[in-house]
Amino acid sequence: MDLSFLLAGAGASMTSFFAPTFLFLFLPASLILYAAVPKKAKKYVLLGESYLFFWFISGALLLYLVLSTAAIYGFGIWLEKIQERMKTALKALPKEERKAAKPAYIHEQRCVVTLAVILHIGLLLVIKYSGFLIENVNGILSFLNSPILLGTPRYLMPIGISFFSLQAVSYVVDVYHGLIKADRNFFRLALFMSFFPQIVEGPIVRYSQTAEALWNVQPIRYQNLTMGLQRVVYGMMKKVVVADRLNPLVQAVFDQTHQYDGGIIALGAIAYTVQLYMDFSGAMDAVVGVAQIFGITMPENFRRPFFSKTISEFWMRWHISLGSWFKDYIFYPITASKRMKNLTSSARKKIGNHFGPLIAGSMALFCVWFCNGLWHGAAWSFIFFGMYHFVLILLGNMIGPAVKKVNGKLHLRAESRGYRYMQIVRTAILVVIGELFFRAVSVQSGFNLCGRMFTTFSFTGLSFDTMSKLGIDVQDLIIVGITLVFVFIVSLLNEKGISVREKIAAWPIVWRWVLLYALILYIVIFGAYGFGYIPVDPMYAQF
């Protein structure tokens, strides 16, 4: 009797929240079961469903998640015990001796945190990056004509490890900082780590953001159900109508790099940036929507990034949870370290108040962007992508006062509409160039594409024949254009502080339904799925 090992890993396609298996089988079944059980049991059902989801997408690799949860459970309690011992011991000591006694306990705690970080980040490094490291070592060895080459290990990597590992580290560090109490309830911690809507592509949430809400889950409410489903449908439109429709064009431009001239490469780079945004933000809409059905408010991972006026602002609006993780757990700890503080104060004296703090800041910024690049994948193109943003942000920080001066002399008002638009367009162009390197198969290929984009820029090669080679036609571009205009209008209204969803919620039911039907039929008719289309996996799930 072969039960195909109870479908372990058989639902790999469920990594996409818009896959029929997830949308029409797993999600409804989860909701029905969740709604059917008594309130006290709901949290356990949600945990069971989350583990089941992970089992379906990753099979036995679920063990990674369970072990990671068990490890941080232990580390959290260990840290708290040290903190309690420290409190009791310090209380027992006379005031003047307390200061001298404290560092030993802090050191002990740091050792525990270091152990937890090494365990999680180290495991991530081994699984995700050892192949890349060995590949490069072998490159050097063969350059040196060495007869010995190292064998490349192959590890099975559970989906979402880059996300839940960072969540695990943040939990332990937050306990260490006393921001949260160690959780003595393993199941609550397990639910925080595994909540199925966010396990594949994030957002990377903090314990303080969702753990309690997840544990005190509420019954499904009609309002939450309808609002959540609306958000899922909106995300589905972004992914299925725009991102997946642009996929053949992006693949053609980036995989057959030598075939096209600059204009088409630029079109491909823009298409990829749009595809990535629509794919990832669409998935985040689904995450927020599904969580809302369960009554959980997920932090937003995007805040209309293409309205950004600078690159640093862009990264405060794009993949917000990753950016804030790097800020809180890499940037601040580095800049706040004693050595860096000393460096900053001495630099202030020597090179002034603007450039002084920039030295320590730049070192921290370098670490952030090196890690950011590497987090996205084990390849030089990702590291280059990180360094590209590091340089841009650093330059922005350095030349800020000079730009202000020049603007003053030229009588340019930074607050004026024209200047702001120029900044937005400039930022978008820089982002597109960065994404070009991000998508290119190698750094060399990225430079090649980028070079040709500028040196052979023309659309003379763009014909119906070329478009057919690119796997796209005029109708595709029209549908993408219409959908993007729709998304732009919604984004613009949100940017102006108008909550489109609240406005729609206030409409009479007939109009609300008409809008929803229109949106569903729009996806059904204009979506890139079924015959002639290859399903596109969620792009951030691979990171």
Binding site for another protein (CB under 8 A): 2, 4, 10-11, 13, 19-21, 24-25, 222, 225, 473, 475, 509, 513, 517, 520-521, 524-527, 529-532, 535
Cα 184 to Cα 77, 169, 174, 180, 181: the distances in Å are 7, 17, 15, 12, 9
Separation between Cα atoms, residue 222 and residue 405, nearest integer Å: 56
Q: How far is the CB of 278 from another protein (least distance, A)?
A: 19
C-alpha to C-alpha distance for 11 and 30, rounded to whole angstroms: 15
DSSP per position, 161-193: HHHHHHHHHHHHHHHHTTSSPPP--HHHHHHHH
Specify the residue, 49 or 80, whose C-beta has the smaller distance to another protein: 49
* Closest to another protein by CB, 226 or 312: 226
Contact (Cβ atoms closer than 8 angstroms) between residue 195 and residue 214? yes
- 13 vs 442, which CB is nearer to another protein? 13
Taking a C-beta distance cutoff of 8 angstroms, is the pair 9, 528 a contact?
A: no
| DSSP track, 234-263 | HHHIIIIIIIHHHHHHHHHHHHSGGG--HH
Q: Which is nearer to another protein, 86 or 241 (CB)?
A: 241
Angle between helices 161-176 and 186-194 in degrees, nearest 10: 140
How many angstroms separate the Cα of 417 from the Cα of each of 63, 266, 402, 421, 494?
54, 26, 21, 6, 18
Nearest approach, Cβ of 13 to another protein (angstroms)? 5
Shortest distance, position 279 Cβ to another protein, whole Å:
17
Neighbours of 380 (CB within 10 A): 16
Least distance in Å: CB of 502 to another protein?
20
**CB of 516: closest distance to another protein in angstroms?**
8
**How many other C-beta atoms lie within 10 A of the C-beta of residue 231?**
21
**Close Cβ partners of 12 (under 8 Å, ≥ 6 residues apart):** 56, 57, 159
Kindly tell me which of 345 and 475 has the beta carbon lying closer to another protein: 475
Q: Kindly tell me which of 90 and 515 has the beta carbon lying closer to another protein.
A: 515
Residue 21 or 138 with smaller CB distance to another protein: 21
Residue 47 CB, nearest approach to another protein (Å): 23
In the complex with another protein, which residue's Cβ is closer, 27 or 368?
27
- Give the largest CA-CA distance in the chain: 85
- Nearest approach, Cβ of residue 90 and another protein (Å): 56
Q: Is 497 or 530 the residue whose CB approaches another protein more closely?
A: 530
Shortest CB 288 distance to another protein, Å: 21
Phi, psi dihedrals of residue 318, rounded to the nearest 5°: -115, 130
CB-nearer residue toward another protein: 2 or 465: 2
CB of 405 vs another protein, minimal distance in Å = 55
Residue 390 tokens read as 């590091």
CB of 477 to another protein, least distance (A): 12
Q: Smallest distance, Å, CB 19 to another protein?
A: 5
Name which of 395 and 534 has its Cβ closer to another protein.
534
DSSP 456: T
Q: What whole-number distance in Å separates Cα of residue 360 and Cα of residue 358?
A: 6
Work out how close the CB of 511 gets to another protein at its nearest, in angstroms, rounded to a whole number: 14
Q: How far apart are CA 463 and CA 13, in angstroms?
A: 36
For residue 367, the tally of other CB atoms under 10 A from its CB is: 16
CB 205 within 8 A of CB 194: no
Min separation Cβ 436 and another protein, Å: 29
- Quote the CA–CA distance of 223 and 509 in Å, as a whole number: 12
Cis peptide before 203 (omega within 30 of 0): yes
Question: Residues near 113 by Cβ (< 8 Å), separated by ≥ 6?
Answer: 75, 79, 172, 173, 176
- Is residue 234 within 8 Å of 285, Cβ to Cβ? yes
**17 near 232, Cβ under 8 Å?**
yes
Nearer to another protein, 377 or 535 (CB): 535
Report the residue number, 461 or 535, with the smaller CB distance to another protein: 535
Residue 38 carries which DSSP code? -
